[in-house]
Amino acid sequence: MINFSTIDDGEIFGAIYEVNKSKFLAHVKHVETEEEAREFLQMIRKKYFDATHNCSAWILGERGDKQKSNDDGEPSGTAGNPILETIKKNEITNCIVVVTRYFGGIKLGAGGLIRAYSHTAALGLNASRVVRMTMFRRFSLTLEYSFLATVENYLRNKNIRVASTDYADVVTMELLLLPDQAENFLPEMNDLTAANFLCEELDAILIPIEVER
């Protein structure tokens, strides 16, 4: 499990660019599989059925090892690959970008097409909400109420996330720690509670953290 950047799920982000009377529309979406990517591409093609081209590229996988691009009738290498390279430049995966073109009557040439598709894809990605899928280690911590205030203060000072808290005969918390936070966690719990606690490490989890840009 590794950290990686992607587009925030559940929303379609877009942008518009015009050059020499041609209009380019970018649509950006988070996808997890090739099937999802193809379904989104088909949706865009259906919506913009009257467009001259619907060119696309996607990158999938935590390591970005699944990649595909499509020129959709534009000269080879002038549309799909520039979109793909723009996604790669932004170091984003699990993402599809579709750039729709309405031809304005003036040919742009190969260089002009590459610049237009790259720029439109970049505008779409810049308009998107990027998140960093960050690996957190999960711990279930159980302790007596007499230690609760001390431990809660420690968690606040260390910026450790509390996913849930169960108040029963004893207090049980599910905690989310970054790897560097976890290094000294157990020894510090020993000091705070005189070793009066129970702790179980659960499966790690990836959590989306919005990237400030």
Question: Which of helix, strand or coil describes residue 107?
Answer: coil
Asked if pLDDT for residue 8 goes beyond 90, the answer is yes
Asked if pLDDT for residue 119 goes beyond 90, the answer is yes
- The structural architecture, per CATH, of the domain 134-210 is 2-Layer Sandwich (3.30)
What is residue 87's predicted lDDT score, i.e. its pLDDT? Answer: 98
What is residue 2's predicted lDDT score, i.e. its pLDDT? Answer: 85
Reported as a single tens digit per residue, the pLDDT across 54-64 is 999 999 999 99
List Cα–Cα distances, 29 to 23, 36, 60, 144, 193, in angstroms. 20, 10, 12, 46, 47
Q: What is the mean pLDDT of residues 66-76?
A: 97
**Do residues 5 and 206 touch, judged by C-beta distance below 8 A?**
no
Asked if pLDDT for residue 163 goes beyond 80, the answer is yes
Would you say the C-alpha torsion 174, 161, 202, 93 has a positive or negative sign?
A: positive
Would you say the C-alpha torsion 29, 34, 38, 43 has a positive or negative sign?
A: negative
What is residue 115's predicted lDDT score, i.e. its pLDDT? Answer: 97
Q: What is the mean pLDDT of residues 70-80?
A: 96
Asked if pLDDT for residue 82 goes beyond 90, the answer is yes
Domain with CATH 3.30.70.240 in the chain: 134-210
What is residue 103's predicted lDDT score, i.e. its pLDDT? Answer: 96
Domain with CATH 3.30.230.30 in the chain: 4-128
Q: What is the mean pLDDT of residues 106-121?
A: 96
Would you say the C-alpha torsion 159, 161, 167, 172 has a positive or negative sign?
A: negative
Q: What is the mean pLDDT of residues 65-84?
A: 97
Asked if pLDDT for residue 85 goes beyond 90, the answer is yes
Q: What is the pTM of this model?
A: 0.86
Q: What is the mean pLDDT of residues 93-97?
A: 98
What is residue 202's predicted lDDT score, i.e. its pLDDT? Answer: 96
By residue count, the chain amounts to: 213
Give the closest residue to 54 by CA, choosing from 117, 129, 7.
117
Superfamily of domain 4-128 in CATH is: Impact, N-terminal domain (3.30.230.30)
What is residue 124's predicted lDDT score, i.e. its pLDDT? Answer: 97
